[in-house]
Structure formats: structure tokens, C-alpha cells
Amino acid sequence: MLEIDDLTVDYGSVRALDHVTLRAPLGSITTVLGANGAGKTTLLRAVSGLARPASGSISFAGHRIDRRRVEDIAGLGIAHLPSGQGVIVELTVAENLRLGSLISPKPPAGRKEDLDQVYDMFPVLSQRRRDVAASLSGGERQLLAIGTALMSRPRLILLDEPSLGLAPRAVAHIMAVLRRIHEDSGRTVLLVEQNARSALSIADRVVVLNLGRVVIDEDASALAADPRSMQRLRHAYLGF
């Protein structure tokens, strides 16, 4: 589904990603872990076109996308939810959701159906549909961001630290939502997290970045079962 080959991204003189290769197969949840500054966010920004690669390639569903414009990549069915601010706070809940549905041209009937589904899944959004997103709590905003992404009927969802700054209960809720979305529709998810425990609980595959390089790329179940791998994971995070 998503194929990243030998990708290198520089920010000025700093190398953020160093020859990274990874696969996110159709219908899988792949989680990318790593400490601050490991290059996780840059990886997602490169996929959605916000960061320009110095070398390497990114393909989505068979198309090269690494030189395309952000808007066009979004149009192909890749929804990127940046960390922290995933919603436009000046717009109302309903407007955010409508904006999501505008990406792909589809009949109003389909739009209505999607909207009902999102409101079904997140009743809190339905209650507050006329409120501006600025008035929502952090967890509610994250749900709105996910809902907006779903309205665009994405084939691939890129999530950047959805648990950032949320209370443990809200994190558990978000993870449950992600698992449900994945089980309901089989969408491909690339999940960047610092919170390894919650990410590992739903992931099929785990990639660990350290200083811009891939240091682990394994099945989540195999990783969890193998104490040595867990040690390497700790090493990548904490440096010992």
C-alpha cells in the first residue's frame, strides 16, 4: 500500500531521516516508535508532501507521490492528522467534518451517510456540532480530527501522536476508536507514537526510529514475545 524506499530528508544541515525503508501493507496498522527527534514526524510529513525528500522514493498504491503537491496527495486518499492541532479551531464541528468530505467528489447522499456514521461513532460530536472546535477539549478535538479524516474516506490514515497531552482514559478511548475503525473498514494506518505501550496494544507491525534510522522493523506480536527485542526497543528510547 505505502512503500517508502531509501528515504532521506534534511532540514537545513540536519539530517532528519537517513535512508529509511519501510512498508505499510494494505489493511495493517503499523506503528512508528522512537524518542523525541528520532524523525517520526518528519516521516509522516514526507509522506503527505509537507517535507521534501532529498533522495529516495515514496509510493502509494503504485503511484510515486514524493514530488507531488500536498493537496494532490490528500486527494489520493491519504489523511494526515498532525499532532496537537488536527482541527481548524475557528470552524464549527460540523464545518470541520464537511471540509473533510469535500476532498473526493461524491454525491450528497454518500456525504450524509458518512456524516451519520461519524456522529454515530462519536456521539459527543453530534451534540456539539454547532460549536466552534476551539471550545472542545483535547480529547474531543482528537476525535473530531479522526472524524474529519474519516469523512474524506481515506485509504491510508497517518496519525501523529494522537495521545499527546491527553489523560490516560482519553488515550485508551482513542486507541479503542482506532482499533474499531481498522476492524470495521480495514483501513491502513500508520501511527506515530511516543507512548509505546498503547501503540503496541493495537499495532500489527512495529518500526522503531533512532536519530533518523530504522533500528527495528518487526511484527508486533514477535517483538512483544522476544525479550531481546524489547531490550533493543528500550535502548532506542533511552539510550541504554
37 near another protein (CB under 8 A) = no
Which string of b and e fits 53-65 if b means at least 16 CB within 10 Å? beebebebeeeeb
- Given candidates 28, 41, 42, 48, which one binds another protein under the rule CB under 8 A? 48
Q: How many residues bind another protein (CB under 8 A)?
A: 25
Of 218, 176, 213, the closest CA to residue 16 belongs to 213
Nearer to another protein, 62 or 105 (CB): 105
**Cβ atoms within 10 Å, residue 98:** 15
- Given candidates 65, 87, 181, 208, which one binds another protein under the rule CB under 8 A? 87
CA angle 60, 196, 51 (to 5 degrees): 35
121 near another protein (CB under 8 A) = no
* End-to-end CA, the chain: 35
Nearer to another protein, 24 or 74 (CB): 74
Query: Cβ distance 148 to 88 under 8 Å?
Result: no
147 near another protein (CB under 8 A) = no
Nearer to another protein, 157 or 202 (CB): 157
143 near another protein (CB under 8 A) = no
- Given candidates 39, 53, 100, 212, which one binds another protein under the rule CB under 8 A? 100
Q: How far is the CB of 61 from another protein (least distance, A)?
A: 16
Q: How far is the CB of 50 from another protein (least distance, A)?
A: 7
One-letter amino acid for residue 234 of the chain: R
Tell me the window of 75-83, 113-121, 168-176, 188-196 that interacts with another protein (CB under 8 A): 75-83
- Given candidates 36, 71, 108, 169, which one binds another protein under the rule CB under 8 A? 71
90 near another protein (CB under 8 A) = yes
Report the 3 state secondary structure along 21-51. EEEECCCCEEEEECCCCCCHHHHHHHHHCCC
Instruction: Outline where the chain has alpha helix (H).
Output: 40-48, 70-75, 93-101, 108-121, 123-127, 138-151, 168-185, 196-202, 220-225, 227-238
84 near another protein (CB under 8 A) = no
152 near another protein (CB under 8 A) = yes
Summarize as ranges the residues that interact with another protein (CB under 8 A). 48, 50, 70-71, 74-75, 79-80, 82, 85-91, 95, 98-100, 102-103, 134, 148, 152
